[in-house]
Amino acid sequence: MELSGDLKCLSPPELRLLFRRNVSGIIKTTGLAEGYMQANVVILPNHLADDFEAFCQSNPASLPLLYRSQSGETSCPPLARHADIRTDMSQYCVYEKGQLVKTVSSLQSYTDQARNASDQQDVHHGHQWSDMVCFYLGCSFGFEGRLKTAGVPIRNVEQGRNVSMYRTAVPCIPAGVFSCPVVVSMRPVPAEKLDAAVEVSHLSPLAHGAPIHIGEPAVLGIQDLCRPDYGDRLELQPGDVPVFWACGVTAIQAIRSTKPLLAFSHSPGSMFLTDIPNSSTSIISPPSDSRNTPYIKPNPELIPLCILVSHKPLLYSLASQRAVSRIRDLERIIGEDPGQRGIQVLCTQDELLRSSLALSHSSSVAITTGFPAHYMHRYLHHKEAMEFIQCPPDETDGSPGAIAMATMLLSLGKQVTMVTDRRALEMNQAIIDEAVKTGVLKTAIPLVTFEDCGPDAALHFLCHHGDPSKPRYDHLVAIERSGRAEDGNYYNMRGVNIKHLVDPIDDLFIAAKDIPGIITTGIGDGGNELGMGKLKETVKNLMPNGSLIACDVPADYAITAGVSNWGGYAVACGLYLLHTCPSHQRYLKKGIGQEAPPPQEQLRDWIANLPSVDKEESFLSTLVRFGIRSGKTGHLAMEVDGLTFHPTHSDIITRLLEVTQGSTSQNP
């Protein structure tokens, strides 16, 4: 029902007094006491209290602990003056052995029964009020007023309903006897207001903080948005995106899972109204009791931005403004064009950012590279060996960037597979083995080929048993990989057809477009590389031979670089920046666990797996020993695309690392 203006204007103490007298007729508190924090309440036997506090501390996004009472305490001085938790909420839930047995408007009778029971065992399993401990937990209702001020519509208030709440498939971190799945609240937010909603809630850490997921509900294990487990169904308006916050009803789920003999809670949506302004980031005048959780005021520089990552499924991600700014710096560096090939016309802002975010969310990545630029060269005189050696047609651009990405992805715990042409399988396996031996690559990675053996070959390659609901990979990356042109052929920059040297790996990118959950990235420096079909019209109109050579196969993200290897280095650096970004890591982990910088040992491992001048020089020398030459000149030398490693490539790597490792001492 729509709240009257008179009720909306009442202060928290005035509303608590109405609840105490049981005369308000109000059940849900959304839209009330605007400007003040509201609290979830759980009341447990004191023998469970320490375990539950540890559970809160392990899951602070879901259970931001505002205050823990003493046993039998009915007041909460840090949160509200002259309050009585037994009477000052509109509705309570009563649980016996984890089962909801009834809802009541007061818990006064339970203290009266305990008093009347005298020395006899009382009717509620021996628990008296003096045995009970109250926990007050932050609630997202507390930032609804600030959302409204920021211009974000509050659909549940507009529709006169409670928020929708859902059990997820995301497990909380267990503590003591407590374990349960995370419960989330959902508010529909217009896409253009997502940044505002994220900023407001990020600055309200005591009210669950920023969202833990934005987009497709199934990512959280929610199968039907129309059937909430708690609260009311909300109608999404055109242009709305479902936004999910960690929810204090997780505590109720914990009661149901743990099954204490007797417990109480607020009724979902019927919160305890505190006297604390919702702008607070710490409890006013906290008692000396160290059991109350300390909170650190959020750093405004770490306010997350909301970035669209995928339409299939719909997925947004979060990263701090500082991390986003640095990744954009990386993108500007790799967009330089010392070879004067005119590639700036292909550069599109934030392709690197979105691809890096998608890769950060991934678990299994397939990377492909290989551009047979030297189709006519079969043998070359090797001056040092004084003999002719057989030369592969491949160039020195592509493999270094692929290995740099693979190394960082492995360091972050992702599965990585390399996909290559059949003609190059043996050589690339030997190169991978050498990269592991020299320490350039962290560990050996699977190397596979793809053959077109039927209409469903790509589907069976990408998905277990050819089932689109069970993708084997969630991200495909092509870097300096020959891309199929509009006429079905493959062309180098000079317009020569090299189709006979290229396997149809393009088919994997084409098939991935119709498989939800697989995102694709193409990295190139000319427009004829796999994935650059996203920029096909620009390539046709503005690049030399563009109407002939332009790749026709698009990727979701097309990263343009002066040299494709640089794009691979930048992706590795972008992943490092995201994994040292607290805002992104919290979102990636769905709010589970304490927010803390990565352990020093882990941080050192990530740094060691960034590209470096020494590693990239070592790997390039390995390629030269295998007879792989510069793409533009055909030189068997320490150069890529006609640019010598020193000073051009070494300078780019150094500058990328300067941007990236500026975050080591101060997380982005």
Quick: pLDDT tens for 495-522: 999 999 999 999 999 999 999 999 999 9
Pair of tokens at residue 482: 């020959």
Pair of tokens at residue 88: 């000052």
Alpha helix (H) residue ranges in 118-178: 144-149, 155-158
Q: How many residues does the chain have?
A: 668
pLDDT in tens, 581-627: 999 999 999 999 887 888 999 999 999 999 999 999 999 999 999 99
Q: What is the pLDDT of residue 287?
A: 38
* Better-scored residue on pLDDT, 3 or 480: 480
What is the percentage of the chain residues whose pLDDT exceeds 90?
Answer: 80
pLDDT in tens, 115-138: 554 444 444 444 688 899 999 999
* Residue 100 burial (C-beta neighbours within 10 Å; 0-12, 13-18, 19+): middle
The closest alpha carbon to 394, from 507, 477, 482, belongs to: 482
The closest alpha carbon to 175, from 258, 94, 246, belongs to: 258
What is the percentage of the chain residues whose pLDDT exceeds 70?
Answer: 90
Mean pLDDT of 243-261: 96
- pTM for this entry: 0.91
Q: Give Cα 16 distance to the centre of its chain.
A: 39
Confidence of residue 288 (pLDDT cuts 50, 70, 90): very low
Q: What is the pLDDT of residue 281?
A: 57
Q: 7 near 16, Cβ under 8 Å?
A: no
Q: What is the pLDDT of residue 280?
A: 61
The closest alpha carbon to 206, from 150, 140, 303, 254, belongs to: 140
Q: Name the DSSP letter for residue 260.
A: -
Helix or strand or coil: residue 590?
coil
Q: What is the pLDDT of residue 116?
A: 53
Confidence of residue 295 (pLDDT cuts 50, 70, 90): very low
* Residue 664 burial (C-beta neighbours within 10 Å; 0-12, 13-18, 19+): middle
Q: What is the pLDDT of residue 597?
A: 86
Q: What is the pLDDT of residue 582?
A: 93
- Whether a cis peptide bond, with omega within 30° of 0, leads into 313 is yes
Query: Who's near 295: CB < 8 A, 6+ residues apart?
Result: 64, 205, 206, 281, 282, 283
What DSSP line would sit under 271-321, residue for residue? PEEEEEETT-SS-SS--S-TTSPP-PPPPGGGPEEEEEEEETTEEEEEEEH
CA angle 416, 418, 424 (to 5 degrees): 165
Q: Lowest-confidence range among 71-75, 228-232, 379-383, 448-452?
A: 379-383
Mean pLDDT (the chain, rounded): 90
Q: What is the pLDDT of residue 192?
A: 98
Q: 221 near 170, Cβ under 8 Å?
A: yes
Helix or strand or coil: residue 7?
helix
Block residue for tokens 């009970």: 132
* Better-scored residue on pLDDT, 122 or 661: 661
Q: How far apart are CA 536 and CA 532, in angstroms?
A: 7
Q: What is the pLDDT of residue 76?
A: 96
Confidence of residue 329 (pLDDT cuts 50, 70, 90): very high
* Better-scored residue on pLDDT, 267 or 302: 267
